[in-house]
C-alpha cells in the first residue's frame, strides 16, 4: 500500500515520540462547547446578503509536560458548524498547535519537533469566507547539537527538515536546512558571534514554483540590562533559483524588549529579509510577536519582506492588554503581489468580578497592493462577556461587527454577528460561523 506523502510528517512524529522516554507528569485538560451564532451576512458578500443561524459544536484538548527530558505542549480542537438555512455548506475544522523538545544527551543533544494545522485564506485579498479557506499544515523536525569549547564560547549546529502542505495553493514543499551558530560571551551582559545557514526548498509542483537554495551569514550582537534586552543580526542572503536569476542582498533583524513595570512590557521588532511565504507562515506560528500572516499571499516566490512590529503587553490578575502595531512592505521577485500593509490591533480583557469577565478585541488593516492597483480597508470589533456558572462551566455572549471597503467593490462586505453558548473546560468556541 502506498501512503500519501502528506501523512508522512504525522507518521514520522509518532515514530520519533515512540523512541522518547515516557513523560511522567502529564497535564491534560479537555474542553467541550456548544452554541448558536446569528450572522446577517453568512458568506461575507458585497450584495444579496443572506442571514443565517449557525449551530456550533466544539471539542478540544490540551496536553503538556514541562519537566524531565521530554517536554511538549499540544493544543488541538475540532469545530463543527451547521448553517441552519443552508446559506453555506456545513463545515468541520481541525486545528493543532504542538511543539516538543527531547533532551537525548543532557546539555548536548536535543530533538525539536513541531506541527501546526490550521486554516488560511487561498486569496489573501478576498474575505475570510468558507470557500476561501484552505487547510494548511507545517511540520518541522531536527536535532540541535550544543558544544561549549570553553566557558566563554558556545557553538550550536541544527539540521532541520520542514514539510509544508497547502490544500488548494499548489505550493506544497519540503525544506532541508542546516544552520550553525557561534557565540562569544564578551561581557557578562553582552554576546557577539556569527550565524550561518543553508536551506534548500523543494516544491512538489516545480513548473509553478522553481526550487530555491538560500545561504545566509550574519553577525550577531545581543545584550541585557536590568530592564531591557536586545538581539541584532546583520548580514546578507544569497538565493539561487531554478529558471530564474539569483538574488542577493542585505538581510538582518533586531529585537528590543523593555520591561516597563512588573506587569507590562514593550517589544520592538525590525527586519528586512529575503524569504518566502512558507517560512513567514512558520515564523508567525512560532513567534507571533514578529508579525501576523493574515495579509500575505501564499505562493512559491522569493520576497523581500520589510517589517516593523511594536507590541505592548500588560498582564495582571484583573486587566490584561495586548496592543500591536505593524507596518510591512512585501516586494515579490516575480509574482504581481507587491503590497504594503498597516495593522493596528488590541485585545483587552477585564475581570469585572470573580464570576464575570469582559473582553474587547479590535483590528484595523490598511492594504495597498501594487499589482492590482487597489486599496483595501477593513476593521473588526468584538465584545464578549463570560459568566462562570461553576469551576469548569461558563456561559459566553459575544457581538461582532466587521467591515471591508475596497477599490474592487466585489470584495466589500459588512457583517454583524451575535453568539451565545456554553463552554466546559478551558477552550474557546468560535463566536461565528466563520473562523
Instruction: Give the residue among 272, 378, 247 at the shortest CA–CA distance from 327.
Output: 272
Helix, strand, coil tally for the chain in percent (to 5): 10, 65, 30
**307, exposed or middle or buried, with CB in 10 Å at 0-12, 13-18, 19+?**
buried
**374-388/212-224 β-pairing:** unpaired
CA 103, chain centre distance (Å): 25
- pLDDT at position 12 is 47
Look up the pTM and report it: 0.90
Q: C-alpha cell of 167? A: 490544500
Three-state secondary structure call for residue 157: strand
Instruction: Name 44's Cβ contacts closer than 8 Å, sequence gap at least 6.
Output: 127, 128, 129, 413, 415, 434
The answer to whether 291 touches 310, Cβ cutoff 8 Å, is no
Instruction: Name 120's Cβ contacts closer than 8 Å, sequence gap at least 6.
Output: 133, 134, 136, 166, 281, 293, 298
- pLDDT at position 2 is 37
- pLDDT at position 371 is 76
- pLDDT at position 3 is 39
- pLDDT at position 120 is 94
- pLDDT at position 177 is 97
**413-425/27-39 β-pairing:** antiparallel
Give the pLDDT means over successive 10-residue stretches in the chain (435 positions).
Answer: 46 45 71 94 94 94 91 94 94 94 96 96 92 95 96 96 96 97 95 97 93 97 95 97 91 97 95 96 95 92 97 95 97 93 96 96 95 90 95 94 94 95 78 41
- pLDDT at position 24 is 54
Place of cell 464578549: 384
Q: C-alpha cell of 71? A: 517536554
Instruction: Give the residue among 80, 115, 120, 71 at the shortest CA–CA distance from 96.
Output: 115
- pLDDT at position 262 is 87
Residue 279: in which H helix or E strand, if any? helix 277-286
Place of cell 488590541: 346
The answer to whether 175 touches 142, Cβ cutoff 8 Å, is no
- pLDDT at position 70 is 94
Instruction: Give the residue among 427, 372, 434 at the shortest CA–CA distance from 402.
Output: 434
In the chain, count H helices and then E strands.
Answer: 2, 20
Write phi, then psi, for 11 (nearest 5 degrees). Answer: -65, -40
- Give the model confidence (pLDDT) of 109-163 as tens digits: 999 999 999 999 999 999 999 999 999 999 999 999 999 999 999 999 999 999 9
- pLDDT at position 294 is 85
Amino acid at each position: 500500500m502506498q501512503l500519501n506523502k502528506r501523512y508522512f510528517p504525522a507518521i514520522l512524529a509518532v515514530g520519533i515520540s515512540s523512541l522518547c522516554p515516557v513523560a511522567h507528569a502529564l497535564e491534560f485538560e479537555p474542553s467541550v462547547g456548544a452554541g448558536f451564532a446569528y450572522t446577517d451576512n453568512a458568506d461575507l458578500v458585497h450584495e444579496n446578503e443572506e442571514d443565517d443561524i449557525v449551530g456550533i459544536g466544539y471539542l478540544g484538548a490540551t496536553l503538556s509536560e514541562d519537566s524531565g527530558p521530554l517536554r511538549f505542549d499540544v493544543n488541538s480542537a475540532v469545530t463543527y458548524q451547521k448553517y441552519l438555512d443552508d446559506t453555506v455548506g456545513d463545515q468541520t475544522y481541525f486545528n493543532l498547535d504542538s511543539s516538543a523538545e527531547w533532551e537525548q544527551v543532557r546539555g548536548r543533544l536535543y530533538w525539536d519537533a513541531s506541527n501546526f494545522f490550521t486554516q488560511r485564506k487561498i486569496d489573501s485579498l478576498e474575505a475570510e469566507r468558507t470557500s476561501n479557506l484552505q487547510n494548511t499544515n507545517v511540520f518541522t523536525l531536527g536535532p540541535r547539537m550544543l558544544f561549549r569549547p570553553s566557558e566563554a564560547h558556545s557553538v550550536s549546529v541544527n539540521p532541520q527538515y520542514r514539510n509544508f502542505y497547502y490544500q488548494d495553493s499548489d505550493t506544497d514543499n519540503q525544506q532541508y536546512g542546516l544552520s550553525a551558530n557561534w557565540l562569544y560571551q564578551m561581557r557578562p551582559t553582552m554576546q557577539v558571534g556569527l550565524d550561518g545557514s543553508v536551506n534548500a526548498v523543494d516544491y512538489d509542483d516545480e513548473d509553478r514554483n522553481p526550487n530555491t537554495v538560500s545561504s545566509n551569514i550574519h553577525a550577531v550582537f545581543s545584550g541585557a540590562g536590568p530592564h531591557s534586552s536586545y538581539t541584532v543580526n546583520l548580514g546578507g542572503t544569497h538565493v539561487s533559483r531554478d529558471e530564474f536569476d539569483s538574488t542577493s542582498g542585505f538581510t538582518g533583524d533586531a529585537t528590543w524588549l523593555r520591561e516597563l513595570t512588573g506587569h507590562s512590557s514593550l517589544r520592538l521588532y525590525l527586519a528586512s529579509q529575503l524569504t518566502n511565504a512558507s517560512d513567514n507562515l512558520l515564523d508567525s506560528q512560532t513567534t507571533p510577536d514578529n508579525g501576523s500572516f493574515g495579509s500575505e499571499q501564499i505562493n512559491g516566490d522569493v520576497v523581500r519582506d520589510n517589517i516593523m512590529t511594536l507590541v505592548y503587553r500588560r498582564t495582571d490578575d484583573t486587566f490584561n492588554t495586548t496592543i500591536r502595531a505593524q507596518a510591512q512592505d512585501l516586494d515579490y521577485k516575480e509574482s504581481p503581489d507587491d503590497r504594503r500593509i498597516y495593522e493596528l490591533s488590541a485585545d483587552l480583557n477585564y475581570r469585572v468580578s470573580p464570576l464575570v469577565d469582559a473582553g474587547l478585541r479590535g483590528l484595523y488593516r490598511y492594504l495597498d497592493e501594487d499589482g492590482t492597483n487597489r486599496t483595501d480597508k477593513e476593521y473588526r470589533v468584538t465584545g464578549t462577556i463570560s459568566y462562570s456558572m461553576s469551576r469548569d462551566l461558563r456561559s459566553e455572549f459575544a457581538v461582532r461587527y466587521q467591515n471591508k471597503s475596497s477599490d474592487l467593490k466585489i470584495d466589500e462586505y459588512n457583517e454583524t454577528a451575535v453568539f451565545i453558548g456554553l463552554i466546559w473546560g478551558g477552550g474557546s468556541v468560535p463566536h461565528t460561523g466563520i473562523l
